[in-house]
Structure 1
Amino acid sequence: MIKKLTRLLKRWLPLPVYPYKSYMIRKQCIFIHIPKNAGTSVLKAFGYRGYRLHAKWFDYNESNPYLFERYHKFAIVRAPLARLYSAYNYVIKGGNQSEGDRALQQQVLSNARTFTEFVDKILTPEFVLFQPLFQPQSYYIFDSQYQCKVDTILRYESLNHDWRKLCILKGWTMELPWLNKGASTLPEALSPQQLEKIQCLYKVDYELLGYRFNE
């Protein structure tokens, strides 16, 4: 009885219960914020001033499957190598200066002085699996059967164009500010072995998101 009542309340009285936010209820959308993919700019466009949340598709579905089924779901993806380098730069600067980000900064800087050393010494399958900043993007928007769980994928490389198309589709009038734009151009050449390692670790992203490895 209680479970049934809870389902009805979620259906008829949608509330911004974790991980939903008030702007999602207001705009009837779900933005899945993949780290280092211009998500802060999207939050700014929606007028959201709270903390950044990197919940995956199943977090929203488990919290309120009714809203998850009915709201328009979208995410931004990015070329995996460029995103990896952007995440690395974010980490070595201390991230958002939280205790966890500073600990990760110390872990990286104490073992690697450059991006190439980071790839050689720190970037392992275990590191990628357990560090949200470095997890494959597909983990956020694909299920275990490799089915995409969002309605619209925007690409970082053509974000202004893709954002305008989404706004036309949804009848939104928000401009997209460009915030926290991190470096994505590699300052140093990677060896064939390092490139192969990155390609292997992020193979699922290259395949599911449609990026070529030289991008």
Structure 2
Amino acid sequence: MPVPKLPLQLLGLSHPYHLAWWRQTLRRRSVLTPWNERHDALFVHIPKTAGTSVLAALGADSVFDTHAPAQVYRDAYPEFFARARRFAFVRNPWDRFASSFHFMKSGTDWPMQQDWAQRHIGDQDFAAFTRRVGRDPLFRARVMAERFFWPQSFWLGEERAELVHDLYRFEEIGAAMATLCARLGIAPPAQTPHLRKVNKADFRSLYDEEMVAIVGRLYRADIARLGYRFR
């Protein structure tokens, strides 16, 4: 999807822009597939939560973009949304932030993201990037306008709305896939590969105290909602 212009980023309007783009796009194209209809299931794919691996393991059909938020599905397909089993995978915010950085720097094959990374990451390492996010409000606004860094709560919608039934943890993906496949009546995969894994280090080794606090502030709502801690 297109990235909003800088004035919208600075005004914090990236999320409304994204929702409007999806609603306009789904008037012309669909992200519902025979797989969804066959299983009465809807996967809300939050970036950098192993969603590509999950979709492959479930045998889901390909679509032009898998990252539609739950509220977009609700508005575009109200009847299907009401009956579908809706699920998502979530991830420790500190781990996900590091994964997004490494993916954008060296893992993405999308030209738009490659251009973004060249302009916003360049030769910075993870520590320098994170500290700059914490200290430079303009840079922080630009980083948080890239959807791979958005809070997971954006895709899940308001907590009280209960738009997603089942939240599975990235950290427990093996057991989660067994439970999910049983609920959907799908044979569980022999293994669940992490197709887009870029950084293999324990994320905790990448952080110092200042960086932990910076990312904790960025994702305060996710941490409270999803029950994650740094350690």
TM range (shorter): 0.7 to 0.9
Task: Determine which structure has more spread, i.e. the larger CA radius of gyration.
Answer: 1
After superposition, the Cα gap between the structure-2 partners of 1:88 and 1:30, relative to the gap in structure 1 and judged at 3 Å, is same
Report the secondary structure of 1:54's partner residue: coil
Partner of 1:7: none
- Unpaired runs of at least 5, structure 2: 1-28
Query: Are 2:71 and 1:55 aligned?
Result: no
CA contact (8 A) 1:56 1:141 kept: yes
Partner of 1:76: 89
After superposition, the Cα gap between the structure-2 partners of 1:147 and 1:129, relative to the gap in structure 1 and judged at 3 Å, is farther
Partner of 1:180: 196
Q: For 1:65-104, what aligned pairs fall within 5 Å after superposition?
A: 65-93=78-106, 95-96=108-109, 98-104=110-116
**Shift in Å at residue 187 of structure 1?**
8.0
Greater helix proportion: 2
After superposition, the Cα gap between the structure-2 partners of 1:107 and 1:188, relative to the gap in structure 1 and judged at 3 Å, is farther
Partner of 2:176: 162
Pick one of 125, 129, 148 that aligns with 2:162.
Answer: 148
CA contact (8 A) 1:75 1:153 kept: yes
Runs of 4 or more, structure 1, over 6 Å off, are none
* RMSD between aligned residues: 2.3
| Residue-by-residue CA offset, 1:105-140 (whole Å, 9 max, x unaligned) | 202333x52101111224655235421100011111
**Shift in Å at residue 94 of structure 1?**
5.1
Pick one of 115, 119, 128 that aligns with 1:117.
Answer: 128
CA contact (8 A) 1:32 1:140 kept: yes
TM-score (norm 2): 0.76
CA–CA separation in structure 2 for the residues paired with 1:74 and 1:119: 30
Partner of 2:213: 196
Corresponding residue pairs, total:
196
CA contact (8 A) 1:81 1:198 kept: yes
Greater CA deviation, 112-121 or 167-176?
167-176
After superposition, the Cα gap between the structure-2 partners of 1:189 and 1:102, relative to the gap in structure 1 and judged at 3 Å, is closer
> Which amino acid in structure 2 is aligned with residue 18 of structure 1?
S
Greater CA deviation, 85-94 or 19-28?
19-28
**Shift in Å at residue 83 of structure 1?**
0.7
- Unpaired runs of at least 5, structure 1: 1-16
After superposition, the Cα gap between the structure-2 partners of 1:48 and 1:80, relative to the gap in structure 1 and judged at 3 Å, is same
